[in-house]
Structure 1
Amino acid sequence: MINDHRVREKVAWILLRDDQLLVTRVHGRDRFYLPGGMREEGETDSQTLVREIDEELQAVIDPDTMQHVHTAEIPPGHSAHGPFRMICYAADHRGELVPAREIAEKAWFRYADRDRVSVVDALVFDALHENGRLP
């Protein structure tokens, strides 16, 4: 998928345990989001994910285990912030998941909690639910 630089992109981590999905909440916000973040200039998806998870949760992603899970997109005109794409990967990690920097807390959500996440994250919840990964 080619980014024409008019579409903001986030690289996100999909971590499922016991039929629940890891989400995080930023200080000062009510909504929860999949951990990850925006790509810095010249970064690959794996470099972005490794950096962001280290910054947000103090864990080390193993880039050799990354597997694309889903890409969610909000097209132009459907958001006040313009078009948005979130590229989601599952990957193994080392280390305990400890919220850091802008992350106030981590939580484990079931599909029934999807109303507590952002619009684009809800699209990922739906995709995981439809393929049986998030009952």
Structure 2
Amino acid sequence: WGVISGCALYSTKTSALNMAVSPSFIDKLALILVHNRQQLVVRSKGKNVFFTPGGKREEGESDEDALCRECMEELSIEIARPSISPYGVFQAQAFGKPEGTSVRMTCYSAEYEGTLTPSAEIDELRWIDSSCPYEDLSVTGIMILEDLKSKGLID
């Protein structure tokens, strides 16, 4: 995999470990859900922008386990593990963090069971397309939205 950072795609094989332990680097997982040519985003309590659903791994947790746990915690859905598929990796300035703190979002797509229901930590679920105002999204959210649009997956 490479990392989509702004408009550049580069290899992370040599630097991923160093970035994962850096105090100015946040490593997260996210679920890309597209339905009716729109992407699902969430707004956490106390935040004014929307993010791609997901979160951080707990110690010793695999990407698959963390993704399933985060989706149950945030969206009250069960991910169909056999359907989990890598989507891409996006890196940008982390929202609400000091300048120079980056977030690296390793994104997956997957099928799920259940009804999308915001948890106590989520204020709002929203289906968006490329007409969504960029000021409503995190920087990585904008990058993901643009990528989905460029691949013809959303309007």
1:46 match: 64
Q: Secondary structure at the match of 1:111?
A: coil
2:27 match: 9
Question: How far did 1:83 drift?
Answer: 2.3
Output one character per residue of 1:59-89: Cα deviation in whole Å (capped at 9) or x when no partner: 001121111112101279xx62612200111
Kindly report which structure 2 residues correspond to 1:27-66, keeping only aligned pairs within 5 A, or say none: 27-66=45-84
2-structure distance, mates of 1:109, 1:91: 18
1:131 match: 151
Q: Secondary structure at the match of 1:112?
A: coil
The letter of the residue matching 1:124 is: I
Q: 1:117 aligns with which of 137, 140, 153?
A: 137
2:8 match: none
2:93–2:139 contact (8 Å) kept in structure 1:
no
Structure 1 residues 126 and 3: alpha-carbon distance in aligned structure 2, compared to 1, 3 A threshold:
farther
Question: How far did 1:36 drift?
Answer: 0.6
Q: 1:90 aligns with which of 109, 121, 146?
A: 109
TM-score (norm 2): 0.80
1-structure distance, mates of 2:48, 2:36: 24
Structure 1 residues 30 and 75: alpha-carbon distance in aligned structure 2, compared to 1, 3 A threshold:
closer
2:49–2:137 contact (8 Å) kept in structure 1:
yes
Structure 1 residues 98 and 75: alpha-carbon distance in aligned structure 2, compared to 1, 3 A threshold:
closer
Q: Secondary structure at the match of 2:132?
A: helix
2:3 match: none
Question: How far did 1:124 drift?
Answer: 0.8
Instruction: Give the aligned length.
Output: 133
Contiguous gaps of at least 5 residues in structure 1: none
From the CA coordinates, give the structure whose radius of gyration is larger: 2
TM-score (norm 1): 0.91
Contiguous gaps of at least 5 residues in structure 2: 1-11
1:114–1:125 contact (8 Å) kept in structure 2:
no
